[in-house]
């Protein structure tokens, strides 16, 4: 069989393996089956988990900064961010205020103050531009926690600060921006992986609240709180993407940020276009391939870019939703199917990623 130039460009398998871990497992398994192929690893992200790592791998001259910040549901966590040579800071919500950092899901009380603390640290370090990936949040507070760490105050009818989290929004009466730090000179770009508005049946509470532990009554309470919060802010809550990260994107819009599709921005940073020109086949993947994949996720962007370049694409996913359209891929493998069930796939995720990758390698051969 003729050797192939294989580009391995996955997203993380959320909560089980990073994009870099998945890419390495795929590459090892692939070369075990097809040792003559040239395999290149290019882990990517969409603004969620792995965004900082993708930039760091693509830009080794970037300086890594670490600090301890408040975790989303209590306790402290260590977060990191990057300072690029041009003064841009790359910040990732998932490593400061992400759902994977929680041991118990507290949908009404979780907050993103950790992300705000990282942004403040980046400003203190002299960052002239902020690139903020906001996927993977644990909270639904409309971004209030972030703005608080940047100097804003959200007050109740007595002039007291409202409690953290979505629960506190119910008593919000006034937004005080007197102490809000100015955004950096070259602006703030928010990388999102969804186009959801802040409110309504497709908004932050209704769509993503249940993923964070919210029951029907919690979703209703969060929606009412977000409505109250939106009434205090001069940003249109219907803005596509404003509902990202439980509304963190909405809060950052109030700070003057611009929203951009995360997958495209990260792909540009890591050089996906150039890598595709040297590839005969792309292997991409994510934890679950479903209807949301087409709404700005890594797999959608990678497969679209590969199609434009005339390069066939194979999909490796934890699981493929029965209703999802996978017809664009030349081959598909699932770790759940390879493992014989979800529990085993989650118990040894990288082992089954490798097994699924080996299946793909034999298929394309």
Mean pLDDT of 131-144: 96
Rounded to an integer, the average pLDDT of 313-334 is: 91
Hey, which bits of 56-128 come out as E strands?
A: 63-70, 76-83, 88-92
The pLDDT value recorded for residue 292 is 61
User: CA-to-CA distance for 107 and 21, rounded, in angstroms?
Assistant: 29
pLDDT > 70? residue 155: yes
Query: Mean pLDDT, to the nearest integer, of 224-244?
Result: 97
- The two tokens of residue 194 are 């969804």
Please state whether beta strands 129-133 and 63-70 pair in parallel, antiparallel, or not at all (unpaired). Answer: unpaired
Is the predicted pLDDT of residue 349 greater than 70, yes or no?
yes
CA distance 220 to 31: 51
- pLDDT in the model for residue 59: 87
What is the predicted pLDDT for the residue at 295?
Answer: 56
Res 305 pLDDT > 70: yes
DSSP string over 288-332 = EESGGGGTT-HHHHHHHHHHHTT--EEEEEEEE-TTS--TT-SEE
| Kind plus residue range of the DSSP H or E element containing 82 | strand 76-83
Is residue 10 a contact partner of residue 298, using CB atoms and an 8 Å limit?
Answer: yes
- What confidence score (pLDDT) does residue 57 get? 86
Under the banding of pLDDT at 50, 70 and 90, the label for residue 325 is confident
Please tell me the pTM assigned to this model.
Answer: 0.88
Residues 268-301: tens digit of each pLDDT: 988 999 999 999 999 999 988 886 655 558 899 9
Q: Judge whether residue 15 has pLDDT over 80.
A: no
Could you tell me the pLDDT band of residue 356, with boundaries at 50, 70 and 90? very high
Interstrand relation of 76-83 and 88-92 (parallel, antiparallel or unpaired): antiparallel
The secondary structure element, H or E, covering residue 8 is strand 5-8
Q: Which residues contact 270 (CB under 8 A, 6 or more apart)?
A: 42, 44, 54, 55, 57, 58
Q: Which domains does the chain have, with CATH numbers?
A: 5-42+271-364 (3.40.50.10350), 51-263 (3.90.1510.10)
Residue 139, both tokens? 């909270």
Of 16-20, 140-144, 213-217, least confident by mean pLDDT is 16-20
Please give the pLDDT value at position 85: 94
pLDDT tens track for 100-129: 999 899 999 999 999 999 999 999 999 999
* Three-class secondary structure of residue 53 per DSSP: helix
- What number is the average pLDDT over the span 215-237? 97
pLDDT recorded at residue 1: 66
Which pLDDT does position 269 carry in this prediction? Answer: 87
Which residues touch 92 (CB under 8 Å, ≥6 apart)? 48, 49, 50, 51, 52, 79, 80, 81, 132, 133
Query: pLDDT, tens digit, for every residue of 38-95?
Result: 999 999 998 888 899 999 988 889 999 999 999 999 999 999 999 999 999 999 999 9
On average, the pLDDT of the chain sits at: 94
CB 328 within 8 A of CB 313: yes
Q: What is the dihedral of CA 307, 135, 197, 264, to 10 degrees?
A: -30
* d(C-alpha 23, C-alpha 15), whole Å: 16
Task: Please determine, for residue 223, whether its predicted confidence score (pLDDT) is greater than 70.
Answer: yes
The partner residues of 176 in beta bridges, in order of sequence, read 153
CA angle 217, 222, 223 (to 5 degrees): 100
């Amino acid at each position: 069989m003729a050797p192939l130039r294989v580009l391995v460009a996955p997203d993380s398998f959320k909560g089980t393996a990073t994009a870099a871990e998945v890419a390495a497992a795929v590459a090892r398994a692939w070369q075990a089956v097809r040792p003559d192929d040239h395999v290149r690893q290019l882990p990517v992200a969409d603004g969620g988990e792995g965004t900082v790592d993708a930039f760091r791998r693509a830009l080794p001259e970037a300086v890594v900064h670490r600090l301890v910040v408040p975790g989303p549901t209590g306790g402290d966590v260590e977060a990191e961010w990057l300072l690029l040579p041009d003064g841009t800071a790359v910040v990732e919500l998932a490593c400061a205020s992400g759902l994977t950092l929680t041991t118990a899901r507290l949908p009404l009380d979780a907050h993103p103050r950790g992300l705000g603390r990282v942004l403040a640290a980046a400003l203190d370090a002299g960052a002239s531009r902020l690139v903020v990936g906001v996927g993977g949040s644990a909270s639904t507070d409309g971004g209030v926690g972030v703005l608080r760490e940047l100097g804003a105050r959200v007050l109740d009818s007595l002039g007291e600060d409202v409690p953290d989290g979505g629960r506190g929004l119910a008593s919000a009466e006034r937004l005080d921006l007197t102490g809000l730090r100015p955004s950096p000179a070259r602006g703030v770009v928010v990388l999102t992986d969804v186009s959801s508005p802040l409110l309504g049946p497709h908004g932050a509470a209704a769509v993503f609240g249940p993923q964070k532990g919210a029951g029907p009554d919690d979703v209703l309470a969060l929606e009412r709180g977000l409505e109250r919060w939106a009434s205090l802010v001069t940003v249109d809550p219907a803005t596509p993407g404003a509902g990202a990260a439980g509304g963190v994107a909405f809060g950052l819009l109030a700070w003057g940020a611009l929203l951009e599709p995360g997958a495209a921005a990260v792909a540009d940073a890591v050089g996906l276009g150039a890598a595709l020109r040297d590839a005969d086949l792309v292997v991409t993947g994510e934890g679950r391939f479903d209807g949301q994949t087409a709404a700005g996720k890594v797999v959608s962007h990678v497969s679209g870019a590969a199609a434009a370049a005339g390069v066939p694409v194979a999909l490796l996913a934890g699981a493929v939703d029965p209703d999802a359209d996978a017809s664009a891929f030349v081959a598909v493998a699932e770790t759940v199917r390879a493992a014989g069930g979800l529990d085993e796939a989650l118990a040894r995720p990288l082992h089954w990623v490798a097994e699924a990758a080996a299946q793909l390698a034999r298929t394309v051969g």
